Amino acid sequence: MGFSRNGRNLLIAPSILSADFLRLGEEVKSAEEAGADLFHLDMMDGHFVPNLTFGPPVVAGLRKITTLPLEAHLMVLHPEIYLQELADAGIDRVTVHVEATTHLHFVLARIGALGMKAGVALSPATPVGTVVDILDMIDLVLVMTVNPGFGGQSFIPHSIKKIAAMRTLLDEAGARHIRLEVDGGIKAGNLARVADSGADTFVMGSAIFGDRPCSTVFGEIRAVLS
């Protein structure tokens, strides 16, 4: 499973945010057939970010049509409210924003207690060091490469330095099992540069669920990652 570049295992995580929600099942199946490694599900509450999406019932529906891992990217305040329902719906990993909860350690412990994997997401202005004291509770760090809330935004150039700094932090902590995911403005055209700065898991929304068939886009991804 996955892709590779310079001997590193890399994963592509389509975000369904840009999919046609009236044909969501078909969109997910075609991304799966084209080579998706997991699905990234953006949940927004209209408070942490100025947008609304979907919640656990959509996850339960997706769980019935794909065996690929499902990760929830919670862009919500009070993430603890939704954890039991997400576990019941069959989510594999829940990623919460460092900025969205006062009690990050408590929330991560709760995710683990419910049998799910945990990730933490950092918005662009949040320093990489905020993850240092919870590394033993997570299997993924998500470095946002746009401000959270909407698909189709441009990659923030400073993110390259931030990804490299997070890569160094994880390596020096001996935490190489923790995936370093990037989200926002990722396209086949910048994948190589972002991968070479240290990311290993790539969320792609509008690039995959855009105007062109996702098999074409996965062809372009393969040309870069092999």
List residues with catalytic annotation.
42, 183
**What is the per-residue binding string for Zn ion in 33-62, x denoting contact by CB under 5 A?**
---------x--------------------
CB 174 to Zn ion: min, Å = 27
How is 50-71 classified by DSSP, letter by letter?
Answer: S-B---HHHHHHHHHH--S-EE
For ligand DX5, which is the closer residue by CB, 51 or 130? 51
Contact criterion met (CB below 8 Å) for 38 and 69: yes
55 is a contact residue toward ligand DX5 (CB under 6 A): no
Site residue total, ligand DX5 (CB under 6 A): 22
**What is the per-residue binding string for ligand DX5 in 119-158, x denoting contact by CB under 6 A?**
---------------------------x-xxxxxx-----
How is 12-26 classified by DSSP, letter by letter?
Answer: EEEBGGGS-GGGHHH
What are the φ/ψ torsions at residue 167 (nearest 5 degrees)?
-60, -45
Of 50, 80, 63, the C-alpha closest to 150 is 50
181 is a contact residue toward Zn ion (CB under 5 A): no
Choose the one of ligand DX5, Zn ion, none that binds residue 185, judging by a C-beta under 5 to 8 angstroms depending on kind: ligand DX5
How many residues are given for the chain?
226
Site for ligand DX5, residues 61 to 90, rule: CB under 6 A: 73
Contact criterion met (CB below 8 Å) for 97 and 84: no
CB 25 to Zn ion: min, Å = 20
Strand partners, 4: 9
| Order of strands across the sheet that contains 93-97 | 3-5, 8-14, 201-204, 179-183, 140-144, 117-122, 93-97, 70-75, 39-44
For ligand DX5, which is the closer residue by CB, 128 or 202? 202
Indicate which single residue of 56, 79, 184, 198 sits in contact with ligand DX5 (rule: CB under 6 A).
184
Query: Which residue ranges make up the site for Zn ion (CB under 5 A)?
Result: 42, 73, 183
Query: Which residue ranges make up the site for ligand DX5 (CB under 6 A)?
Result: 15, 17-18, 40, 42, 73, 146, 148-153, 183-186, 203-207
